[in-house]
Structure 1
């Protein structure tokens, strides 16, 4: 089958579109399976609907809280419609018959023999036998005892989707694709929102992230200046009458995972992590619980994608836990602590009083995350730096009896994290504070580079990068112009609008 061109209305997603096209183009006559998962509002359905329309496939979607019999009937009617059969002419009483009929129909119809089953976890709540029937059809198709074709299974409940291929589950070893659709990166998100000012785009990204499904729900107009940003926040995530009210959205996201049954505990864990508790022990201390009691909740939140666990690039057994979802982080830090005021329509008062929290706990950490994303995705093309693993590190300073937290550390390509003697390619600091960065910031990075060398790492040739939301003092700019090892990255350069200063 020839490659189908990605539709113009589908922003980004070139990699996923190409993989799905290759999946469909496989000439093998046997049944092939693919899994697509991702957080709600990341655009999974939009992508699969576009693919199904482009190739003439059959798109079926489950409905939350729909019973088994209504679901069977609705799927049967959709299959009949795709086959051009009059309504009510087809009767299918179990999921094996439904799946077999769907494959028969798409194999006879013009176009690709594609069946998409969206929101599969909703079906599994009442019909857990579906993966077993898919296994049976898959195995029988290998000997031409069942129809071939291509089936894509999609869902937002991340733990359910990841378990489809785990352990002794029926579909283990039978899916040729296991895609997790991420949110847009920060540059694509800016294009999606249509924001000219990169500093404003960064702030919108800090509050809502890159989930493309949020833009149709947000009130117009999109903010284009810092003056417009505050009122926009008040009438979106801080307005109980809006679809993007953060309390409702956070609850909606957490309900996606059927294992999250005691939401109060998970809310408390998320709040502790958002406030800076970065290890299981610190989360336990914040909630007056033992470290061991926090392991299971944190692992569950990590599997859903709402919490991220990174490892220190230089130290073993030193996890760094953070809230990965911007909407949940905003809810835990700003909405929930003042929910009574918010629900009395006092969003402007809440926003004014919460600005210090927003800058220190939301915008600051998000700016650091964005700097690391720039290093992973764009630094090579825009600076010529060849970088391997990118992350954070905590560096001991025995003389000063302190530790230095490094916002951005990049190893040389091929270097393994946590190795005793590793080559450091980049050491960076990212600050969203209102003060421009100066020579003292550069001196701190030079000191950290020397400490790393003293500790046995090969850091002498490491580049030093300063990221600033509010620019740089002229003396630092002058120094960077004379030195080949210094990079200055302001918000324009972070978004590709301007050059990276330095060599």
Structure 2
């Protein structure tokens, strides 16, 4: 059976194919799948479209008492099968068996959306589903229901199948619906100019709902309209985008002290990317941050990135661009933004923070992602096996050099030869001095005995371009690689 993706659905080819394959699996017996992802990524749209295309059953849970949720499920299920009156379930055991009964004659998807709401009211529900899917149980073996549990609370959904969780080993699908990458995001927003696309992406990322529902399809008309678009949308108190970053933390049930988590994010957005810097910013001991950093990481709001050259050094990065923009630009001016009639002057005052704390780090992140997943292999001599950043010590100069981009390959001996080191600059034209700095770092790495260092490429990522001298040097030295903003969007 072929399940046709709706014509109006943008991209999501991989997600749709995975779901379609799962719900048309000809194997006998009911199956269980887990679908997760941050809010606003289109999970509900995907699952509703899947049910519509296959005649499946969709139930969206509310924040409600357990009894009310059972009553709603009984009413929704009765309406789906055309029963004359709502079904009455005494427990979730009976309710889950009724959902399994939907698949007695054919493979059919059954979706329970916002599953964490139900578990919050009844923590036994995962165990109930575990027992319902127990081997040799007739209700499961005689059913071909493809039960899909979906949720946006990433920390909760990540634990459903981990460790000793009741559902571990029961699921045949674990699908995470990610944000759109920078290329797809530019296409989705309809932004053709690469520099403008990077600016938009640095604020709203690749979250589909931010264009359709939140900005009401208001997109920058061109480079000259970017500032106007910012003022009309994310900096306008009447826009849904204005308060969105403040609400994101409320979606995570594990975050009890919201103010603490906002402070940790503010510290990272201010440029404190390491545990010690975050602790100093908050006036706390470094050890006190283990729990909040772990919760933020489990929730998908921050990522932990190891130093490419030092195993004991970790960098933290905010994974949600809108959250970075909020803490770097909006939060320091929040009261003024709420009450001003025209935020133009406030936005002008924020340009330095926007460039240094938002655009610069985001540009580095996009460049690393492009190298890892999109760059042609011949550019660096091989497929990148790992891409990150790092710090290289310079004993002679008694200093250290930060490297924005470090690219490793993988040879036949499972070693990771160095393919390239690079620097990414947003607001300045790159010149010969940047390459000289990279050459010095390459010499230091070669002296340290790093495999492949002597032949490593020197990559310059320039959002506003390169000097004529550097362009000329690159034409005569194939170890110099120049990547412009436009190159990041070439397919």
Spell out the pairing of 1:84-123 with structure 2 (5 A cutoff): 84-86=82-84, 88-108=85-105, 112-123=107-118
SS at match of 2:315: strand
SS at match of 2:209: helix
SS at match of 2:162: coil
CA contact (8 A) 2:25 2:107 kept: no
Distance in 2 between residues matched to 1:448 and 1:33, nearest whole Å: 51
Deviation at 1:292, TM superposition (A): 0.6
How many equivalent pairs are there? 486
* Superimposed CA distance per residue, residues 152-186 of structure 1 (whole angstroms, 9 cap, x where no aligned partner): 11100011111111222210111122222110000
Indicate the residue corresponding to 2:445 in structure 1.
Answer: 452
Indicate the residue corresponding to 1:410 in structure 2.
Answer: 407
Indicate the residue corresponding to 1:55 in structure 2.
Answer: 54
CA contact (8 A) 1:272 1:287 kept: yes
Deviation at 1:295, TM superposition (A): 1.0
Aligned with residue 185 of structure 1, among 181, 204, 208:
181
Indicate the residue corresponding to 2:120 in structure 1.
Answer: 125
SS at match of 1:364: helix
TM-score, reference length from structure 1:
0.92
Deviation at 1:462, TM superposition (A): 1.2
1:464 paired with 2:462, answer: no
Spell out the pairing of 1:61-460 with structure 2 (5 A cutoff): 61-63=60-62, 65-86=63-84, 88-108=85-105, 112-140=107-135, 147-148=142-143, 149-216=145-212, 217-245=214-242, 248-345=243-340, 346-380=342-376, 383=379, 385-413=382-410, 422-433=416-427, 435-458=428-451, 459-460=453-454
CA contact (8 A) 1:31 1:141 kept: no
Indicate the residue corresponding to 1:4 in structure 2.
Answer: 3
SS at match of 2:309: coil
SS at match of 1:125: helix
* 1:183 to 1:141, Cα distance in 2 relative to 1, 3 A: farther
* Superimposed CA distance per residue, residues 113-151 of structure 1 (whole angstroms, 9 cap, x where no aligned partner): 211111101111112222112111100555566643211
Q: Which runs of 5+ in 1 are unaligned?
A: 498-503
* 1:376 to 1:3, Cα distance in 2 relative to 1, 3 A: farther
* 1:83 to 1:140, Cα distance in 2 relative to 1, 3 A: farther
Which segments of structure 1 move beyond 4 Å, counting only runs of 4 or more?
Answer: 140-147
Distance in 1 between residues matched to 2:108 and 2:218, nearest whole Å: 42
* Superimposed CA distance per residue, residues 185-221 of structure 1 (whole angstroms, 9 cap, x where no aligned partner): 0000011111111111111100011011111110453
Distance in 1 between residues matched to 2:140 and 2:323, nearest whole Å: 48
SS at match of 2:288: helix
* 1:303 to 1:414, Cα distance in 2 relative to 1, 3 A: farther
Distance in 2 between residues matched to 1:423 and 1:35, nearest whole Å: 37
* 1:37 to 1:107, Cα distance in 2 relative to 1, 3 A: same
Deviation at 1:112, TM superposition (A): 3.5
Deviation at 1:426, TM superposition (A): 1.3
Distance in 2 between residues matched to 1:382 and 1:189, nearest whole Å: 26
* 1:170 to 1:374, Cα distance in 2 relative to 1, 3 A: same
Distance in 1 between residues matched to 2:412 and 2:155, nearest whole Å: 31
CA contact (8 A) 1:115 1:151 kept: yes
CA contact (8 A) 2:420 2:459 kept: yes
Distance in 2 between residues matched to 1:303 and 1:221, nearest whole Å: 32
TM-score, reference length from structure 2:
0.95
Deviation at 1:9, TM superposition (A): 2.1
* 1:356 to 1:415, Cα distance in 2 relative to 1, 3 A: farther
CA contact (8 A) 2:382 2:409 kept: no
* 1:280 to 1:376, Cα distance in 2 relative to 1, 3 A: same
CA contact (8 A) 2:442 2:456 kept: yes
Distance in 2 between residues matched to 1:313 and 1:7, nearest whole Å: 42
Q: Which runs of 5+ in 2 are unaligned?
A: none
CA contact (8 A) 1:117 1:153 kept: yes
CA contact (8 A) 1:31 1:142 kept: no
**More displaced stretch, 285-294 vs 274-283:** 274-283
* 1:92 to 1:430, Cα distance in 2 relative to 1, 3 A: same
Indicate the residue corresponding to 1:501 in structure 2.
Answer: none
